[in-house]
Structure 1
Amino acid sequence: MGHHHGHDHDHSVSNIKVAFFLNLGFTLIEIIGGIYTNSLAILSDALHDLGDSLSLGLSWYFQKLSGRKRDQSFSYGYKRFSLMGAVINSIVLIIGSIFIIREAIPRIIQPESVNSQGMLILAIFGILVNGAAVLKLRKGDSINERVVSLHLLEDVLGWVAVLIASIVMIFTDVPVLDPILSLLIALYVLFNVYKNLKTSLKIILQGIPENANINGIKTKLESIEDILNVHDIHLWSLDGHYHILTVHLVVPGTKSMDALVSIKQEVKSCLSKENIKHVTIEFETEEEYCELEDC
């Protein structure tokens, strides 16, 4: 079983590594092509792809790092390091998008001619390269791979938009279409950055995970036989997927150690259905005073 898990982990790392080099190589071509064609839309997408390359590189690094267990420095292990990558990526994309918007607005007022044929060739190439990266990652089973593949799928759709715009500009003289498209891409990137940054900051601030109902969990635990009261319940996530819960359970003082083990197993079974993987339980009796009960 351990060998199989190790094989899956290595396969995930390999998939992200291939996608990283595909994306980075194409980003460099895209920057050169964007300057050559004088297309702000392509340069804005190049910036987006550069952010994706950074994201893939960090995902590749953190996918390897995530296998490390707890040590003297990090008692919960290294899962939360992935959030650093998300925050760094968000900052890079925000700065880049602001730069693109600043460049796009004057071009909308005074459009500049672009090389539509060059844009068309780059768009086709972009669809093929990003599409190959998506297919490579979609074969994987890890959440990391699935999230990155969805991100790259957005790139494919962006290139489809560039392809359509370049075809229109080949047959009609509407150079303003290029800065308008770049502005839309930049705004789309900022919208997604806002969502990702909001999610990352909530996890860092130890907010309750999305789709988790802490009151519902408390009610379920109190319905278990011999649990008289549930309080001081805390629920947070390490990385958006690995959830942790701590709780105080009040039980009759007459319960034996074997009975407490049975209660603990039932609680953990109940919480596993809520996708909570790490549970810490403190038992108390009815007579015992807990200063945290009303906190």
Structure 2
Amino acid sequence: MMNHTHDAHEHHHHHDHGVFHIHAPAGKMRSAFFLTALVLAVEVVGGLLSGSLALLSDAGHVLTDIAAIGLSWYALKQAERPSNQRMTYGYHRAGILAAFLNAITLILIAIWILVEAYRRFQTPETVQPIWMFISAGIGLVINLSMGLTMHGSDNLNVRSAVLHMLGDAAASAAVIVGGIVIVLTGWYVVDPLLSVLIALLVAYGAWRIARQTIVILMEGTPLDVDLTTVADAIRSVRGVYNVHDLHVWTIASGRNALSCHIALDGASTITESQSVIREIEHRLLHLNIGHVTIQVEDQNHPHDQAVLCAASDSGEGHHHHHE
């Protein structure tokens, strides 16, 4: 007997997390896309006029910003599409794929910055600080305003786009500081030094995003969910003898799902088992799990006592036996 609940019934929908349009509607992403294109134009011109690698590397970063925000904009529109027979969970994972691609592009651009900075350490080049100030100042204002407007989202795809914006704002601030140092000291090597710091900042943030998206794409247990706590919460419900074949995964950022088999303590009517399931759903919502699928069994149903479903051939056979 399979008991399937969608987001733990209608009356619990206010618990649903990670709905894309709440934190960053597509309209905001569209505006961010065109503002970022303006920043790119300003920084490319400023970088060429000043000869600053820090500014040009920041312009390279802005180019990935445009791709990131464009992908996020696309993902937001995809997430609004309803589920269908081919995509039963809808299109929310489009955002996870976009976030992963964003992270990879950031890591690649960071490597390029490091290579170019190494070349400039060998042969420092003259830099014109005035154009650094103008271009970086414009980039700082625009990126900071966009990043702070969309900051605080629990959606991984939006967070990756915000990371681009705030990272670029920090890079622009560093370029301005570097320009001041060059004016006061004439120490042109500060320009590639800043580029290295920008690259490390970008790479660190990108790796964190990539790691989270990989866990989601591999159907791993969400980072904010402790499997032992989940199993204990299910066992603590009155009438539940044990739980096994327990799986928790993420459909998209903030949208966690669970499936499991529960053995009931003694004979139960359908009404009694539904009461148990509703109580389990309620407790799991407080553990940030909204989409729950439960198979109900009695204590005599043959199964392994392990909470996790075995990955071996014998485990698969056991799983089919349950079905």
CA distance 1:18–1:209, change in 2 (3 Å)? same
Partner of 1:226: 239
- Structure 1 residue 148: Cα displacement: 3.6
Partner of 1:3: none
Structure 1 CA distance for aligned equivalents of residues 302 and 285 of structure 2: 29
Partner of 2:171: 158
One-letter code of the match for 1:231?
A: H
Cα deviation 1:185-209 (Å, max 9, x = unaligned): 1122112111111111111011111
Partner of 1:83: 96
Partner of 1:119: 132
Partner of 1:32: 45
Structure 2 CA distance for aligned equivalents of residues 94 and 31 of structure 1: 20
1:105 to 115, 118, 134: 118
Cα deviation 1:29-71 (Å, max 9, x = unaligned): 2122212211110111112222222111111111111111221
Cα deviation 1:90-115 (Å, max 9, x = unaligned): 23222222222111102112110011
What's the Cα RMSD here? 2.2
Structure with greater contact order relative to length (CA < 8 Å, sep ≥ 6): 2
2:198 to 177, 185, 188: 185
Equivalence map 1:1-295=2 (5 Å): 12-138=25-151, 143=155, 145=158, 148-290=161-303, 295=310
One-letter code of the match for 2:139?
A: G
CA distance 1:97–1:146, change in 2 (3 Å)? closer
Partner of 2:12: none
Structure 1 CA distance for aligned equivalents of residues 163 and 211 of structure 2: 18
Q: Percent identity?
A: 32
One-letter code of the match for 2:93?
A: R
Whether the 8 Å CA contact 1:209–1:240 is kept in 2: the answer is no
Whether the 8 Å CA contact 2:92–2:252 is kept in 1: the answer is yes
- Structure 1 residue 166: Cα displacement: 0.5
Structure 2 CA distance for aligned equivalents of residues 26 and 142 of structure 1: 26
One-letter code of the match for 1:251?
A: L
Question: What is the DSSP-based 3-state SS (H/G/I as helix, E as strand, rest coil) of the residue aligned with 1:207?
Answer: coil
Question: What is the DSSP-based 3-state SS (H/G/I as helix, E as strand, rest coil) of the residue aligned with 1:78?
Answer: coil
Q: Which runs of 5+ in 2 are unaligned?
A: 1-18, 311-323
Whether the 8 Å CA contact 2:244–2:304 is kept in 1: the answer is no
- Structure 1 residue 292: Cα displacement: 8.5
Whether the 8 Å CA contact 1:16–1:145 is kept in 2: the answer is no
- Structure 1 residue 176: Cα displacement: 0.4
TM-score (norm 2): 0.83
Structure 2 CA distance for aligned equivalents of residues 200 and 248 of structure 1: 28
Whether the 8 Å CA contact 1:15–1:136 is kept in 2: the answer is no
- Structure 1 residue 153: Cα displacement: 2.3
TM-score (norm 1): 0.90
One-letter code of the match for 1:214?
A: L
- Structure 1 residue 253: Cα displacement: 4.8
Whether the 8 Å CA contact 2:244–2:260 is kept in 1: the answer is yes
Q: Which runs of 5+ in 1 are unaligned?
A: 1-5
Structure 2 CA distance for aligned equivalents of residues 69 and 113 of structure 1: 56
Whether the 8 Å CA contact 1:209–1:243 is kept in 2: the answer is yes
Structure 2 CA distance for aligned equivalents of residues 11 and 243 of structure 1: 20
CA distance 1:9–1:218, change in 2 (3 Å)? closer
CA distance 1:147–1:37, change in 2 (3 Å)? same
CA distance 1:141–1:113, change in 2 (3 Å)? closer
CA distance 1:11–1:233, change in 2 (3 Å)? closer
